[in-house]
Structure 1
Amino acid sequence: MQPHENTGHPRRWAILGVLVISLLVVVLDNTILNVALRTLADPVHGLGASQGELEWAINSYTLVFAGLLFTFGVLGDRAGRRRFLLIGLVLFGLSSLLSAYAQSPGQLIAARALMGIGGAAIMPVTLSIISNVFDPRERGRAIGVWAGAVGLAVAIGPILGGALLEHFWWGSVFLINVPVVVLGVLLVALLVPESRDPRPGRVDVLGVLLSVVGLVALTYGIIDGGEHGFGRPTVWAAILGGVAVLAWFVVHERRSDHPSLDVRLFRVPRFAAPVAIVGLVFFAAMGVMFFSSFYMQLVRGYSPLETGLFFLPFAGAQLVFAPRSAAMVRRYGGRAVATVGLVLTSVALAAFAFIDVDTPIWVVLVAFFLQGVGMANIMPPATESIMSALPREKAGVGSAVSNTVRQVAGALGVAILGSVLSAVYRQDIAATVDGLPAPAREAATESVSGAYAAAAQLGPAAPKLIAAANDAFVSAMHWAAAISAVVAALGILIVLRWMPGRPATATADTPVAERELAGTT
C-alpha cells in the first residue's frame, strides 16, 4: 500500500452525516426535558408530577445511560457496530413514543430509563464507526465534526423544547425524536457498513457486570446525594460501594487474560490525560449550565424559550470552531490547542462569579460564546488523542471510556456544585425568612423557586422575599462558578504535563498505546 493512499471508506463523509443524525437525537434528549419540567408538574396540562418525580424523570435516563455506555461500547465491538446502532435507534424511538404518551409520572420515569438503554447503545458505536471508516489522517477532522454535533445538540435541546411547548402539548418534546429515528434507521441500513473486532476472543462477563454495577451505584449515589443531601448513610453506601466495585473491576481486569478493558492503557499519557481532561471539563460545564438555567428563568424572569435562545452563542461557537480544531491540532499540536481551549473555558466559567442580578445580558451571552469556543477546542483534540491510542478494532473501548467519563463527571458536577449552591443559598436566606410562617419559611429556604412560590402567597411582603432570594441565589452561584473555574483550570496543568504536542510521524500504523506499552513490558 502506498503511503499516500487513503484507507478510508469511499462513503465515509456520507456515513459521518448519518452518524451525526443518530447522535443528535440522543444528545438532544439530555437537555430538552429541562424546559418541560414546569409543564409536567401541572396537574391539568401535564402529569401532576412532584419535585422528586421530576428529578427521577431526568435521572433515570442519565443513570441507565452512564451505567451502560462502557458495556455497550465493548459489546458493539464484538457483536457488530451497525447492528448495535440499529437496535439502539429502534429502542430509542419506541421509548420516545412511550414517554410522549405516558399517563403517570411512574410510566414516564420507566420510559425514560428505556430511552437510556437505547442511547447507551447508540452513542459509543458512532465514534467507533468513525474510527473504522476514516483514514487516520482524516479521523481528526471527522471527530471534530462529531464533537461539534454533540455541542450543538446540547445547546439546541432547550431551544427546541421551549419552541415545542409554546405550540404543542408536553409530549411533543419526546415525539419529535420519532421521525429523526425513522430517518436514521433507514440511512444506517443503506449506508453504514458493518464492522467488529476481528479477534473478539472470549467475553469478559465478570468484568462487564462489575463495570455496570460499579458505575450504576456510583452514579446513583452522586445523583441522590445532589438531590437530597450527602449526609445520609445510604448515599455514601452507594458511592463507596460503587468505588469498591470499580476497584474490584480494575483488579480483575489486570489479572484477566481476556479483559474487556486493558487498564494498562491508563499508564499511557496519550490515553489517560485526555480522559482526565474530558472529566474535568464536563464536571465544570454541566454544573454551570445547571445553575445558569435557574438564573435566567427565575432571577432574570426569562421564559423557557428565551432561556434556550441564550444558548445560541454556545451552539454557534461549537458549530464554527469544532470542525476547524483538527486543522489547528495539525498546525500547532494537541497540547497547544487544548490549552487555549481550557483557558477560554476557565475564563468563561469564572465570569459567572461576577454576574449579578442586574448584569447586562450581553455579558452572559459573551460568557456562553467563550465557553463554546473553548470546549470546541478541547473535545476534538482530546477525543482524537484517546482514539489514536487504540487500534481501530478496539475503538469501542476508547469511545465508551470517553463517554462514560463525560456522563459520570457531568452528574458529579451537577450534584456537587448543586449542593454548594443549595448550602450557600440556605445560609444567606436564613435571616430573611425567620419571621415568615412555617410553610413559607420552609419553601423559601429549600430553593429559589420555592421562595418565588412562597412569595406569591405573602402579599406586601413578597418583594422583600424575592429580592433576598435573588441575592442569595446569585451569591451561591458565585461560589459554584468559582469552583467550576478552578476545576477546569486543573485541566491546563494536565495538558501541559502529559498531553502530546505535534502529531508524531513515526510508526504511523502502530497505535500509540501498543508502542508505549511494548516499551514498558
Structure 2
Amino acid sequence: MSAKSVDIHNKRYSRFMFVLVILFATFAGMLMQTSLGTALPTLMDDFHINLATAQEATTWFLLANGIMIPVSAYLSTKFPTKKLYIFAFGLLLVGQFISYSAPVTNWTWFLIGRIIQAISVGITMPLMQVVLVYIFPAEKRGAAMGLSGLVIGMAPAIGPTLSGWILDSSHSFASFTLSNSWRSIFLLPMAVIALTFLLSFIFLRDVIPNQPVHLDFRSLVQSTLGFGLFLWGLTNVANANYGGWTDMTHVIIPGAVGIFFIIIFLWHQLEMRHPFLDIRVFAVKQFSVTTVLISLSMMAMIGIEMMLPTYLQQLRGLSPLSSGLTLLPGALLIGIMSPIAGAVYDRSGAKRLARVGFLILLIATIPFLFFGLNTPRDFITVFYSLRMFGIAMVMMPLTASAMSALPKEKAADGTASNNTVRQVLTAMVVSLLSSVTQNIANTNAPVASLKQQNIFEFGQRTLDASLKGFHVSFAISLFFALLGLILAGMLHSGKVIEQDPDLLDEKGGN
C-alpha cells in the first residue's frame, strides 16, 4: 500500500481495494446502459411492444442519467464519499430488482426500475472519475483514467455480448428466471452489486474533501426541468405512438421548454458566487474541446452499438448469443486498449492519439454503409473491432486531458459538466437513430397488397427497406467520426499538466 494512501481524515487505506470495489460496482451499473440492446427483440415479444417502445429501456435510462449527472458535483462535494457510494450502490440494487421482477403486463414498472438504476449510475460514474483524480497523482492521471476506461468504454461495449450469451444460456434455467429469459440479464449485475455493497463498508473511505455547500433549490429545479423535459422530448421522437419530430405535444413543446430552462439554468450559474454546477470550466479551451471530442466518440460508438444487434437479429436472423459473439472481440479490445492508451497519454499527450483514433474510427465505419443481408460475420467482427480500437485511443486520453486541464478542486464540476454534455448528446443520438431507422424503413416499405400477390417479394422488399434505415444510421455515425477527426486538430500539443499556466490563462487565471 502506498504511503500516500490516506483519506481526508488522515487514515490509511488500501487504494487497490478501494479502486477495485468502485470499478466493479460502476462496471455492473454501466453494463445496464447497453446490455438490453441485444434483448430488444426478446422484450418486444414478451411485453408485446414495438421497437420504438422497447428502445425506451435505453432512452429513459439515458434521460434519468442525464438529469442526475449535473447534481453529482453537489453531491460529491456535500456528502462523504463512503456514504454516498453506499447509498448509490444500494439504490442500484433496488432498481435492478424492480426491473428483474417486472410483470410482462406492466412495461411502466420495468421502466421505473431502469430509471432508478440510471439515477444510481448518474452518481457513481462521475464520482468514480473525481475519486481517481484525487487519489492518483497528476503524473499517473492517464493510467488512472485508463482504469476508468474499463468501465466507461468496455462496459457499454460488452453489454450486448454478455446479454446475448445470457439470453441464449438462460433457456436451460427458465424456471429460475421466472420463464422469461431477459430477466437473467439482471442476475449477474445484481450479484456483483450486492457483493460490492457489502465490501463498501470495509474498503471505501472519504477521499474527496467536503464543503458545507448550500443546495440551491432554484438551480436544482431548473436543471431537472431543463434536462428532464429536453431529454423526454427526445425519447418521444422514436415512439411509434407519437408523430416523430413534428409532434407538437410530445416532442416540440417539451423540447423547447426544456431548452428554455437549460438556458436560464446556465445563466443563473454564471451569476452565482458559488454555483450549483460551475460551468465556467468550459472557459478553458482544452477542457471544452476534449469534452466535445469525448462526446463525439461516444456518439459514434453508441450509434453502432445500439443498432448493430438489431440488424444482426432482425435482418440476419442471428440468435442473441450469435450477435453478441460477433461483437465480443471489439468489446474485449476496448477493455485491453483503454489502460494502454491511458499510459501512452502519460508520455505523449492526447492530440496525436485522438487524431489516429478518430482516423481509425472513420475508416472502420465506412464498410458499415455497405453491409447487406449476406455480409460475412467475420467481416463485421473485424471492422467492429477496429472501431473499438480507435475509440479506445480517443476516449481515455481525452478524459485524462480534460481533467488535467482543470485545478483539482474543480474536478467534480469538470466531471459533471463533461458527462452531462456526453449523456445529453448520447440520448439525442439514440433517439435520432431509432427514429431515422424506423422512418426510412416505413417510407420504403412495400405496399400491403403485394403481400397477397407475391409474399416472397414482399418479404424481400421489407428487408431491403429496413436495411436502408440501418445504412443511414451507420452513415450518421460515420459523420461523427469525421467531425471528431477535424476537431482533434484543436487540441493542446503534448501532455496537459494539471493547472498548466497556459491553459488557466485561457479563462483568465484562477
TM-score of the pair, normalised by structure 2: 0.88
Once the 2 structures are TM-superposed, how far is the Cα of residue 339 of structure 1 from its aligned partner?
A: 1.0
Contact 1:147 1:322 (8 Å CA) reproduced: yes
Aligned to 1:502: 494
Contact 2:150 2:335 (8 Å CA) reproduced: yes
Once the 2 structures are TM-superposed, how far is the Cα of residue 510 of structure 1 from its aligned partner?
A: 6.4
Contact 1:102 1:108 (8 Å CA) reproduced: yes
Distance (Å, rounded) in 2 between the aligned partners of 1:338 and 1:324: 14
Task: Say if 1:7 and 1:513 are closer, same or farther in 2 by CA, change over 3 A.
Answer: farther
1:347 to 354, 363, 366: 363
Task: Say if 1:361 and 1:278 are closer, same or farther in 2 by CA, change over 3 A.
Answer: same
Once the 2 structures are TM-superposed, how far is the Cα of residue 41 of structure 1 from its aligned partner?
A: 4.1
Distance (Å, rounded) in 2 between the aligned partners of 1:191 and 1:215: 35
Once the 2 structures are TM-superposed, how far is the Cα of residue 14 of structure 1 from its aligned partner?
A: 3.0
Aligned to 2:246: 231
Provide Cα deviations, 1:137-191, integer angstroms capped at 9, x if missing partner.
1121011121133322223222222232232433222232221112111232222
Once the 2 structures are TM-superposed, how far is the Cα of residue 198 of structure 1 from its aligned partner?
A: 4.3
Distance (Å, rounded) in 1 between the aligned partners of 2:215 and 2:278: 13
Unmatched segments (≥5 aa) in structure 1: 438-457
1:31 to 25, 31, 34: 34
Aligned to 1:140: 142
Is 291-300 or 97-106 further displaced after alignment? 97-106
Q: In structure 2, the residue corresponding to 1:377 is in which secondary structure?
A: helix
Counterparts of 1:95-174 in structure 2, within 5 Å, are 95-103=95-103, 104-166=106-168, 167=170, 168=173, 169=177, 170-174=182-186
Contact 2:35 2:162 (8 Å CA) reproduced: yes
Aligned to 2:65: 65
Once the 2 structures are TM-superposed, how far is the Cα of residue 194 of structure 1 from its aligned partner?
A: 0.7
Is 365-374 or 9-18 further displaced after alignment? 9-18
Give the AA of the match of 2:101: Y
Counterparts of 1:51-90 in structure 2, within 5 Å, are 54-90=54-90
Aligned to 1:466: 459
Aligned length: 487
Give the AA of the match of 1:171: R
Aligned to 1:446: none
2:427 to 399, 411, 415: 411
Contact 1:391 1:511 (8 Å CA) reproduced: no
Once the 2 structures are TM-superposed, how far is the Cα of residue 200 of structure 1 from its aligned partner?
A: 4.7
Distance (Å, rounded) in 2 between the aligned partners of 1:339 and 1:7: 35
Distance (Å, rounded) in 1 between the aligned partners of 2:503 and 2:70: 19
Distance (Å, rounded) in 1 between the aligned partners of 2:167 and 2:436: 31
2:216 maps to 1:216: no
Q: In structure 1, the residue corresponding to 2:454 is in which secondary structure?
A: helix
Contact 1:41 1:49 (8 Å CA) reproduced: yes
2:94 maps to 1:94: yes
Task: Say if 1:48 and 1:475 are closer, same or farther in 2 by CA, change over 3 A.
Answer: closer
Contact 1:74 1:400 (8 Å CA) reproduced: no
Is 381-390 or 460-469 further displaced after alignment? 460-469
1:356 to 369, 372, 390: 372
Contact 1:198 1:393 (8 Å CA) reproduced: no
Task: Say if 1:378 and 1:254 are closer, same or farther in 2 by CA, change over 3 A.
Answer: same
Give the AA of the match of 2:312: M
1:396 to 402, 412, 436: 412
Task: Say if 1:51 and 1:496 are closer, same or farther in 2 by CA, change over 3 A.
Answer: closer
Contact 1:296 1:302 (8 Å CA) reproduced: yes
Task: Say if 1:164 and 1:512 are closer, same or farther in 2 by CA, change over 3 A.
Answer: farther
Aligned Cα RMSD in Å?
A: 2.5
Unmatched segments (≥5 aa) in structure 2: 7-12
Give the AA of the match of 2:435: S
Task: Say if 1:215 and 1:504 are closer, same or farther in 2 by CA, change over 3 A.
Answer: closer
Distance (Å, rounded) in 2 between the aligned partners of 1:369 and 1:185: 33
Give the AA of the match of 2:108: G
Distance (Å, rounded) in 2 between the aligned partners of 1:462 and 1:294: 23
Aligned to 1:15: 18
Once the 2 structures are TM-superposed, how far is the Cα of residue 332 of structure 1 from its aligned partner?
A: 3.1
Aligned to 1:488: 481
Counterparts of 1:276-291 in structure 2, within 5 Å, are 276-291=292-307
Task: Say if 1:428 and 1:51 are closer, same or farther in 2 by CA, change over 3 A.
Answer: closer
Q: In structure 1, the residue corresponding to 2:36 is in which secondary structure?
A: helix
